[in-house]
Amino acid sequence: MWPYPRTLAHRGGGTLAPENTLAALRCGLAHGYRAVEFDVMLASDGVPVVVHDPQLGRTVAGSGHVNDYTAAQLGSMEAGAWFGPQFAGEGVPAFDAVVAYCKAQRIWMNIEIKPAPGFEVATGATVAQATRDYFAKEIATGELLPLLSSFSIAALQAARQAAPELACGWLLEQLPQDWARMARELGVVAIHCDHRQLTPALAREVKSGGFGLFCYTVNTPERASELLAWGVDGFCTDRIDLIKPY
């Protein structure tokens, strides 16, 4: 149900580097993390880029929306200086650059499809197709593949249609009453939930339903141990300095 790594660096480097940048990936790797979670949406030219917020201003200097700019324009924007002067010059990375780095360093990826409003189907299909193309050799040889995930049902449906070879996880804050039926209809292999909304009973329910169980975002070793004791398969963390990757 969960053949993937147990502990993932959230957005690459957690609290130690500017999120969703190549610097974050380097930071996570320096702390021993060879499994990461990051977010992907589409630029105006349809190229997938790695960024969390659909609007600029929090982590990327500028105004407007991510899909107002091309991938090249976003790549030249400042996405690191907000975190610290040592990260100045980090731009918004293209998805292909992040995948290339992770493949070269043998870092496993949980790729969150993070569509801007109104672009759910296009983002799900594009990200899934690109991931399938990047991992064509691994698909053919049966190697462990990245996991796609999303809060968006439409994006997950589009991803499954575009690349049925790739497994998907369904991101939820709270599990609805009919979550199991919906999960089976979506064809997902795992439930990804807010650990603060999880209970031992819900964990047992998910596991007995035959799904992997992943939690976000777990930032203390004590809580991580508690969740693992409940049967949680994996989690992402911002505190890569406190929680060891293994």
| Torsion of Cα atoms, 139 then 119 then 36 then 188, to 10° | -60
- C-alpha span between 243 and 241 (Å, rounded): 6
Catalytic residue among 31, 52, 65, 192: 52
- C-alpha span between 187 and 163 (Å, rounded): 12
The answer to whether 52 is a known catalytic residue is yes
- C-alpha span between 21 and 97 (Å, rounded): 10
CA contacts within 13 A on the Cβ side of 229: 6
Q: What does the DSSP 8-state code read for residue 11?
A: T
Burial of residue 70 (number of CB atoms within 10 Å: 0-12, 13-18, 19+): middle
The answer to whether 192 is a known catalytic residue is no
Q: What would the two tokens of residue 62 be?
A: 């500028």
- C-alpha span between 70 and 108 (Å, rounded): 27
Annotated catalytic sites, by residue? Answer: 10, 52
